[in-house]
Structure 1
Amino acid sequence: MKTSWARRAIGAGIALTVGVALTGCGTSSGSSGAVSGGDYTGPTVNISFWNGWTGGAAPVLVPKLVDKFNSEHKNIKVKDVPQEWADIAAKMPLAIKAGKGPDVAVLHGDDLATYAAQNLLLKSDDIVKSLGYSADDFPKGVFDKGNYKGAQYAVPWSVTPLGLYVNKDVAAKGGVTDVPTDEKSYTAALQSLKTAGVQGDWVDSYVFTGTFQLESLIWQYGGELFNKDVTEATFNSDAGVKALTWMKSMIDDGYSPANVAQDGNIKALLAGNTAFNWNGVWQTTNSAFDGLNWEAAPVPQIGTEKAVWSSSTHWVFPANKGQDKNKTAAAATFVKWMNDNSAGWAATGELPGDNKVRNDASLLEKYPNLKPFMDELDYAHYETVAPGISEATATITTALSEALTGKKTPKEALDDAKAKADKILEQNKAKYGD
Structure 2
Amino acid sequence: MSTISPLDTGASRRTFLVGTAVAAAGLLTACSGGTSIGSDNGATDAGPSFSGGEYEGPKVTLEYWNGFTGGDGPHMQSMLRAFNKRHAGRIQVKNITRQWADLYPALPTAITAGKGPDVAVIHNDQIATFAARRTLVPLDDVVSALGLTESDFIPAVWQAGVYEGKRYGVPLDVHCLADYWNVRHLTKAGLDEAPKDRAGLEDTLRELKSAGVAHPFWMPNKWPAHLMFMTLLWQFGGELYDTEGTRALWGSGAGEEALSWMVRQIREGHSPRQVAQDAQYNAFKNNRVSSTWDGIWQINDLKETAKSISWAMSPVPVIGGTAAVWTAGHNFVLTSQAARDKNKVQAAKFFIDYMSERSTEWAQAGMIPARNTVRAAPEVARLPQTALARDVEVFRFLPTLPGLGDVQTAALELAVQKAVLGQKSPADALAEGVRTADKMLAENKQKYAK
Q: Which residue of 2 aligns with 1:136?
A: 151
Match of 1:417 among 407, 415, 433: 433
Structure 2 distance, partners of 1:61, 1:371, is 19
Q: Which residue of 2 aligns with 1:70?
A: 84
Q: Which residue of 2 aligns with 1:16?
A: none
Pick closer, same or farther for the CA change 1:321–1:352 going to 2, 3 Å: closer
Q: Which residue of 1 aligns with 2:271?
A: 256
Q: Which residue of 2 aligns with 1:330?
A: 347
Match of 1:118 among 123, 133, 138: 133
Q: How many residues align?
A: 411
Q: Which amino acid aligns with 2:60?
A: V
Pick closer, same or farther for the CA change 1:338–1:5 going to 2, 3 Å: same
2:55–2:347 CA contact under 8 A, matched in 1: yes
- Counterparts of 1:13-412 in structure 2 under 5 Å? 35-62=50-77, 64-73=78-87, 74-198=89-213, 199-207=215-223, 209-286=224-301, 287-290=304-307, 292-320=309-337, 323-365=340-382, 367=383, 369-394=384-409, 395-412=411-428
State the 1:278 CA deviation: 0.7
Q: Which residue of 2 aligns with 1:430?
A: 446
2:177–2:325 CA contact under 8 A, matched in 1: yes
Structure 1 distance, partners of 2:192, 2:276, is 28
Structure 1 distance, partners of 2:257, 2:433, is 16
Pick closer, same or farther for the CA change 1:322–1:194 going to 2, 3 Å: closer
Q: Which amino acid aligns with 1:277?
A: T
SS of 2:332's equivalent in the other structure is: strand
1:343–1:357 CA contact under 8 A, matched in 2: yes
Match of 2:9 among 5, 10, 13: 5
State the 1:362 CA deviation: 2.6
Structure 2 distance, partners of 1:92, 1:362, is 35
- TM-score scaled by length of structure 2: 0.87
Structure 2 distance, partners of 1:157, 1:108, is 10
2:161–2:170 CA contact under 8 A, matched in 1: yes
Q: Summarize deviations over 1:203-236 as a string: whole Å, max 9, x none.
A: 10113x1111110000000000111111100000
Structure 2 distance, partners of 1:328, 1:131, is 16
Structure 1 distance, partners of 2:379, 2:338, is 43
Pick closer, same or farther for the CA change 1:322–1:149 going to 2, 3 Å: closer
Structure 1 distance, partners of 2:160, 2:203, is 38
Deviates more, 1:332-341 or 1:33-42: 33-42
Q: Summarize deviations over 1:353-396 as a string: whole Å, max 9, x none.
A: 1111012233133x2x2233222532110122100000111221
Q: Which amino acid aligns with 2:439?
A: K
1:298–1:375 CA contact under 8 A, matched in 2: no
State the 1:249 CA deviation: 0.4
Structure 1 distance, partners of 2:238, 2:259, is 12
SS of 1:56's equivalent in the other structure is: coil
Q: Summarize deviations over 1:277-312 as a string: whole Å, max 9, x none.
A: 111111111112345311111110000100000111
Runs of 4+ off more than 4 Å: none
SS of 1:36's equivalent in the other structure is: coil
Give identity over the alignment, percent.
35
State the 1:147 CA deviation: 1.3
Structure 1 distance, partners of 2:391, 2:254, is 21
Structure 1 distance, partners of 2:314, 2:183, is 12
Q: Which amino acid aligns with 1:42?
A: G
SS of 2:340's equivalent in the other structure is: coil
Q: Which amino acid aligns with 2:416?
A: L
Structure 1 distance, partners of 2:273, 2:182, is 21
1:50–1:104 CA contact under 8 A, matched in 2: yes
Q: Which amino acid aligns with 1:243?
A: A
1:223–1:239 CA contact under 8 A, matched in 2: yes
Structure 1 distance, partners of 2:165, 2:381, is 36
Q: Which residue of 2 aligns with 1:20?
A: none
Structure 2 distance, partners of 1:85, 1:230, is 25
State the 1:343 CA deviation: 0.8
SS of 1:142's equivalent in the other structure is: helix
Q: Which amino acid aligns with 2:295?
A: G
SS of 1:357's equivalent in the other structure is: helix
State the 1:321 CA deviation: 7.9
1:388–1:428 CA contact under 8 A, matched in 2: yes
Q: Summarize deviations over 1:66-91 as a string: whole Å, max 9, x none.
A: 01101111200000010111111111
State the 1:327 CA deviation: 0.7
State the 1:178 CA deviation: 3.0
Structure 2 distance, partners of 1:304, 1:119, is 40
Pick closer, same or farther for the CA change 1:309–1:362 going to 2, 3 Å: same
State the 1:168 CA deviation: 0.7
State the 1:240 CA deviation: 0.2
Pick closer, same or farther for the CA change 1:393–1:126 going to 2, 3 Å: same
Q: Summarize deviations over 1:126-163 as a string: whole Å, max 9, x none.
A: 12212332222211221121211111111111110111
Structure 1 distance, partners of 2:182, 2:340, is 51
1:114–1:386 CA contact under 8 A, matched in 2: yes
Structure 2 distance, partners of 1:52, 1:379, is 27
SS of 2:85's equivalent in the other structure is: helix
Q: Which amino acid aligns with 1:412?
A: D
SS of 2:160's equivalent in the other structure is: helix
SS of 1:105's equivalent in the other structure is: strand
